[in-house]
Amino acid sequence: MKAHQKINAIGKLAKNTFYGKKLIESHAQHESRVKELSSSLQDREDKKIKRRRLLGPSEFWGEYWRQQEALLVADQGSSNSMHTFVLQYDQGYRKFIVAHPEIYWLVDESRPKEERCSYEVIPDGSPCHLYFDLEFTKDLNPTSDGSKMTKTLIDVFCAYFLEHWGFPCRRSDVLSLDSTTDVKFSRHLVFHVKNVMFKNNKHTGRFVKAICSSIRQSLLVDNTKRSSADNILSHFPRGDLAELFVNTMKGKQLFVDEGVYTRNRHFRIYKSTKLGKNSHLTVSDDSEYILNSTHKNKELGLFLDSLISYLPSTKNLILLEYQDKNSIDAIKYSKECLSQRQVCVRTEKKTESPYPEIDKFILDIVKPGKIREVKVMNDDILLYTFTDHRYCANIGRPHKSNGVYWIVDLHSQVAFQKCYDYDCTGFKSVPRKLPEKICFELDKETDILLSSIPDTQYCSSRQTDNVVILEDDADSELANIDLPASIT
Ligand SMILES: [Zn+2]
């Protein structure tokens, strides 16, 4: 059953039916567990945390049901290195979490082993390292030597890296994580070349696909013509390249998953397992990686280095571009050179929504504050941020450093305040009904508005009590599903 069909089916069940109850209970259990975890962590780490508040990463911790909202919040906090993670728990429910990676690690490390099921979101348009997902089934490939194949693959890509962009890249720059089981060989590779990242994962994907295609081509031509076909691959023994192909249900294929370079890709993080699989990603025995980050805590260092799209600093950062083999470039990082989406988000900030009356309603609430930006999400949610307005209903006064934001839900015709402050995580003010006049206009528009929202979004956000259900498996399925649920 497809995810949206599941959601439709669940949506039809009344709240107090068996399944509904179970879902709600499970959600509540998780909520209390996260709270428990956070508070016990807080006690234990009290001194450290106080110190970090002054010196270290932001303590912000935001949980969201919608990926879109989480990514927007992380984007707002990008100067504080905010990152978006996905936590999968019980029966396939998941939550999007925005936090500084160091804070996320602290919390993740204290979870029971079997509950460590987290993924990093590689945001569309964000700089990223070269990364790979490698796999093959063991029973179809009893003689394949995964370790040797991985080494060959790393050497091939290091050679192209140097050839194309002039940056030396060695095995010691490649973090190799393993979650191989008796059934399946499975590795993640992250290339960590100092101060070098790809402009975004589209460029990474084009680069990987082009080289994979060259490898396939090189094996088609006979040995005497190989050097002219591809100068770099001709340096590798033909047998070593041939070994990179494995038997699959669809025939012989490279053991490289070329489908992991899609937008907002989810990639499992260090020490995490797929839910219920008990196969955690650990550093592979043959990894020659030399830790890049300077953290005293080695595990934290490994985790930070294993993140695909985490930028600790943009100073001196070079971004690699790959359009095709004739159009290869390296440019200095600047916000302007990033992708369309980010240019859009970062520079063309809209201070007016398509609904002037609603803007006015919000402005009246936050007076004398001004709208810094308003974002329209999924056609029916408006997210407002402000200048000169930090009043938070949770603490009954303005925050000193963190801002607040207001959400207008056009469908429910209500507005409420939420907050970027760590201490206000999960807070939502008492919703205010939009003025009659606006509701009347919205009702007139409703037919048009709803017809522009795909069924799945409509159903999932309105009928599922904040529950999002995944397909049964796996990394590949997680990638592109962005099912909205009501904002909590
Ligand atoms: Zn607050």
Render pLDDT for 256-310 as a digit per residue (tens, 0 to 9). Answer: 999 999 999 999 999 999 988 889 999 999 999 998 777 788 999 999 999 999 9
Alpha-carbon distance values, 77 to 71, 106, 377 (Å): 10, 19, 18
Give the pairing of strands 61-64 and 93-99: antiparallel
Token reading at 133? 């997902």
As a whole number, mean pLDDT of residues 355-375 equals 90
Give the pairing of strands 196-198 and 318-324: parallel
Alpha-carbon distance of 11 to 7, in angstroms, equals: 6
Query: How close is the Cα of 420 to the center of ligand 1, in Å?
Result: 7
Query: How close is the Cα of 399 to the center of ligand 1, in Å?
Result: 6
Query: How close is the Cα of 421 to the center of ligand 1, in Å?
Result: 5
Query: How close is the Cα of 426 to the center of ligand 1, in Å?
Result: 10
As a whole number, mean pLDDT of residues 49-59 equals 59
Which of residues 326, 344, 362 is at a domain's end?
344
Q: What per-residue confidence (pLDDT) applies to 11?
A: 35
Of the listed ranges 101-115, 343-357, 403-417, the least confidently predicted one is: 343-357
Place of tokens 């100067």: 79
Domain span including residue 463: 1-110+456-488
The top-scoring range by mean pLDDT among 119-123, 192-196, 349-353 is: 119-123
Query: How close is the Cα of 349 to the center of ligand 1, in Å?
Result: 23
What's the mean per-residue pLDDT of the chain?
A: 78
Higher pLDDT pick, 103 / 343: 103
As a whole number, mean pLDDT of residues 381-399 equals 88
Q: What percent of the chain clears pLDDT 70, i.e. is strictly above it? A: 73
Pair (214, 329) in one structural domain: yes
Q: Has residue 486 got a pLDDT over 80?
A: no
Flag whether 123 is in a domain. Answer: no
Query: How close is the Cα of 98 to the center of ligand 1, in Å?
Result: 16
Q: What is the DSSP string of 171-230?
A: GGGEEEEE---SSEEEEEEEE--TTEEESSHHHHHHHHHHHHHHHHHHHHS-GGGHHHH-
Pair (465, 437) in one structural domain: no
Q: What percent of the chain clears pLDDT 90, i.e. is strictly above it? A: 45
Binning pLDDT at 50, 70 and 90, where does residue 365 land? very high
Q: Has residue 61 got a pLDDT over 50?
A: yes
Query: How close is the Cα of 332 to the center of ligand 1, in Å?
Result: 37
Query: How close is the Cα of 425 to the center of ligand 1, in Å?
Result: 8
Q: Has residue 468 got a pLDDT over 60?
A: no
As a whole number, mean pLDDT of residues 367-387 equals 84
The pLDDT tens digits for 234-271 are: 889 999 999 999 999 999 999 999 999 999 999 999 99
Q: What is the DSSP string of 368-426?
A: T-EEEEEEEETTTEEEEEEES--EETTTTEE-SS--EEEEEETTTTEEEEEE-SGGGTT
Query: How close is the Cα of 133 to the center of ligand 1, in Å?
Result: 40
Q: Has residue 211 got a pLDDT over 50?
A: yes
Query: How close is the Cα of 388 to the center of ligand 1, in Å?
Result: 15
Higher pLDDT pick, 423 / 485: 423
Pair (434, 464) in one structural domain: no
Pair (317, 368) in one structural domain: no
Flag whether 336 is in a domain. Answer: yes
Q: What per-residue confidence (pLDDT) applies to 34?
A: 55
Pair (166, 281) in one structural domain: yes
Flag whether 121 is in a domain. Answer: no
Of the listed ranges 192-206, 222-236, 334-348, the least confidently predicted one is: 334-348
Flag whether 384 is in a domain. Answer: yes
Query: How close is the Cα of 97 to the center of ligand 1, in Å?
Result: 17
Pair (465, 439) in one structural domain: no
Which of residues 344, 365, 400 is at a domain's end?
344
Higher pLDDT pick, 206 / 442: 206
Q: Has residue 156 got a pLDDT over 50?
A: yes
Three-state SS for 88?
Answer: strand
Q: Has residue 456 got a pLDDT over 90?
A: no
**What's the sign of the alpha-carbon dihedral 4, 9, 10, 15?**
positive
Binning pLDDT at 50, 70 and 90, where does residue 29 land? low
Please, which residues have CB within 8 angstroms of residue 125's CB and are 6 or more apart in sequence?
200, 338, 339, 340, 341, 342
Flag whether 117 is in a domain. Answer: no
Q: What per-residue confidence (pLDDT) applies to 317?
A: 87
Alpha-carbon distance of 154 to 132, in angstroms, equals: 10
Query: How close is the Cα of 41 to the center of ligand 1, in Å?
Result: 21
Query: How close is the Cα of 401 to the center of ligand 1, in Å?
Result: 10
Flag whether 91 is in a domain. Answer: yes
The pLDDT tens digits for 169-193 are: 889 999 999 999 999 999 999 999 8
Q: What per-residue confidence (pLDDT) applies to 184?
A: 95
**Measured torsion, CA atoms of residues 300, 306, 308, 309, in degrees rounded to the nearest 10:** 20
Alpha-carbon distance of 271 to 299, in angstroms, equals: 10
CB of 192 closer than 8 Å to CB of 292 = yes
As a whole number, mean pLDDT of residues 452-479 equals 30
Binning pLDDT at 50, 70 and 90, where does residue 219 land? confident
Three-state SS for 157?
Answer: helix
- CA angle at residue 410 from 394 to 361, to 5 degrees? 60
Pair (166, 315) in one structural domain: yes
Place of tokens 């100092």: 194
Query: How close is the Cα of 123 to the center of ligand 1, in Å?
Result: 26
Q: What per-residue confidence (pLDDT) applies to 396?
A: 94
Query: How close is the Cα of 103 to the center of ligand 1, in Å?
Result: 19
Query: How close is the Cα of 85 to the center of ligand 1, in Å?
Result: 22
Pair (403, 442) in one structural domain: yes
Pair (244, 365) in one structural domain: no
Q: What is the pTM of this model?
A: 0.62
Measure CA 73 to chain center: 12
Alpha-carbon distance values, 247 to 48, 221, 243, 473 (Å): 51, 21, 11, 21
Pair (215, 265) in one structural domain: yes
Flag whether 124 is in a domain. Answer: no
Please, which residues have CB within 8 angstroms of residue 98's CB and are 6 or more apart in sequence?
60, 61, 62, 63, 64, 70, 73, 74, 77, 82, 83, 84, 85
Q: What per-residue confidence (pLDDT) applies to 446?
A: 58
Instruction: Return the H-helix or E-strand segment holding 43.
Output: helix 18-44
Token reading at 15? 């709240």
Q: What per-residue confidence (pLDDT) applies to 31?
A: 62
Flag whether 122 is in a domain. Answer: no
As a whole number, mean pLDDT of residues 346-368 equals 82
Pair (302, 398) in one structural domain: no
Query: How close is the Cα of 362 to the center of ligand 1, in Å?
Result: 17
Query: How close is the Cα of 433 to the center of ligand 1, in Å?
Result: 21
Pair (366, 463) in one structural domain: no
Domain count, the chain: 3
Query: How close is the Cα of 16 to the center of ligand 1, in Å?
Result: 33
